[in-house]
Amino acid sequence: MNRKTVFIIFCLAAGFVSGVFAQDSPAQTPAISNLEPFKKGERVLIMAPHPDDEAIGCAGVIQQALSAGAKVKVVYLTNGEHNQLAFIVYEKRLVFRKGEFIHMGEVRRKEAVAAMKVLGLDSGNLIFLGYPDFGTFNMLCRYWQSKKPFKDMMTRISRVPYKENLSYGAPYVAENMLSDLEKVLLDYKPTKIFVSHPADVNRDHETFYLLLEIALSDLNGQMPQPQVYPYLIHRVGWPLPRHYHPELALSPPKQFSQSQVSWRSFYLTEDQLNKKHKATLAYKSQTSSSAFYLLSFARKNELFGEYPAIELTHQVSLGEQGIQFFGFSEMYSDAQNSSLGDVELQIEDKGNASFAVVDQSLLIRVEKGKELNRHFSTQLYIFCYSHNTPFASMPKIRIITKYDRLKIFDGMKMIKAQGADITLKPHAMILRIPLEALGNPDFILASIRSYREDLPVDTTGYRKVIIK
């Protein structure tokens, strides 16, 4: 898993040490249903951004599927070669040379083979893609139709360096990541997919989820659409308490107590939990430094939760009728109505962000504190999809706002989108961007991060917003 040690240090700095022995309040736990049973002959695909994600997120599911007679494969986006701190602890030496990074990735691949053997899955059902750990999101945003592939600053690698991997020697460009995943999906035609969560704060985890959404849209009509179950790994201050607690159940993070995520839970048998514990410990390079974190996931159950898609219909003009916004809530629950000109904004689901389409423009409303004006900034990522245009040619938009100013980037280039603007209200910022600047998409995949000066206030998970 990418830089878990760095993530843990960040969490400690964020001040959750005082609550390390606390548990999530049951009163804030959303309704959770049981995961549907597996059936004989089903084809289950586990998508792991790094070796060990599949074990800590889905070890029980893997065992249960196999025992039910289902087929199981695991596909790894990266080999996890970028976790230098873990390897300093594991191998007790500094790691800086290119060959040593490749060595890290090879160690983690071998650990994955050993871990999955504990769960009953042989190496022939493991697929390693080998794209750059800590670099896949950069590729997804910027390296499409690029003459030069992405080159990692630390490893100085720009091609898949692992001979055992699916696309050994493939340049680090986003088309290769997507085509590899689509090949896996078409060859295997999974009926159920378990993938990293769109609200995971790790960039490689976000990337694999986004790639899956794009791939399934590309392959619509070429294969049956599978059921998708996202699993969450990285969220600050979660899960609590740390360390191995097989007697406890895993609950969703408190930030999701008012969210639209539909949670499902799978409860492990005692034998399945013991094997999950053993499989996690097979990742010696990671547990040498982070066992107290990784083993926090070895509990009675595993959690899976998916956002519903947001569907927007075109609203012809502002006129005198209200604009209907559709959005979601994760951190903020006290959103207030504001106005755009003389028109009242009626928020369907009060939350951190909401969306509307008016006069061929996408409106994005972001809630903020009344006192936040000059010190309020946001960063929005919008991946645009059209069934009529190859995804490589569609805009990959990043919008940076600060007070009443904005900059818009498409990939590596800053662009001018005529008609794009910001309206600041006491409790909200409203961003308008013409649909033409987004390539007139059928849907977008959008996430928003908001800041008070340079300090993060909130991050929303990626949502699929369908534009009709």
Q: What is the pLDDT of residue 285?
A: 94
Question: Do both 299 and 241 map to the same domain?
Answer: yes
Composition of the chain by helix, strand, coil, percent to 5: 30, 30, 40
- For 22-29, the CB contacts below 8 A with 24+ separation are 22/240, 22/241, 23/240, 23/241, 23/248, 23/251, 24/238, 24/239, 24/240, 24/251, 24/252, 24/253, 24/254, 25/254, 26/251, 28/254, 28/257, 29/251, 29/252, 29/257
Question: Do both 138 and 217 map to the same domain?
Answer: yes
Strand-pairing partners, residue 344, are: 339
Range of the domain at 416: 310-467
Question: Do both 24 and 159 map to the same domain?
Answer: yes
pTM of this prediction exceeds 0.85: yes
Q: Write out pLDDT tens, residues 419-454.
A: 999 998 888 889 999 999 999 999 999 999 988 877
Question: Do both 261 and 360 map to the same domain?
Answer: no
Q: What is the pLDDT of residue 269?
A: 98
Question: Do both 269 and 339 map to the same domain?
Answer: no
Among 260, 287, 306, where does a domain finish?
A: 306
Q: Which CATH number fits the domain that encloses residue 91?
A: 3.40.50.10320
Q: What is the pLDDT of residue 368?
A: 83
Query: Residue 17 — very low, low, confident or very high, per pLDDT cuts 50/70/90?
Result: very low
CA distance 291 to 13: 19
- Give the H or E element holding residue 248: none
Among 286, 306, 326, where does a domain finish?
A: 306
Share of the chain above pLDDT 90, in %: 69
**Is 90 exceeded by the pLDDT of residue 86?**
no
Question: Do both 188 and 88 map to the same domain?
Answer: yes
Question: Do both 287 and 431 map to the same domain?
Answer: no
C-alpha distance from residue 383 to each of 79, 297, 312 (Å): 25, 31, 16
Question: Do both 284 and 424 map to the same domain?
Answer: no
Q: What is the pLDDT of residue 360?
A: 93
Q: What is the pLDDT of residue 30?
A: 66
Among 279, 306, 333, where does a domain finish?
A: 306
Question: Do both 302 and 351 map to the same domain?
Answer: no
Report which DSSP code applies to 289.
H
**Is 80 exceeded by the pLDDT of residue 57?**
yes
Q: Which of 384-398, 401-415, 444-458 is the most confident on average?
A: 384-398
Q: What is the CA radius of gyration of the chain?
A: 22
Question: Do both 269 and 207 map to the same domain?
Answer: yes
Question: Do both 416 and 434 map to the same domain?
Answer: yes
Average pLDDT along the chain: 86
Neighbours of 378 (CB within 10 A): 22
Report which DSSP code applies to 151.
-
Number of domains in the chain: 2
Q: Write out pLDDT tens, residues 296-348.
A: 999 999 999 999 999 998 886 654 346 777 765 443 333 333 333 333 333 22
Question: Do both 387 and 422 map to the same domain?
Answer: yes
Q: What is the pLDDT of residue 256?
A: 84
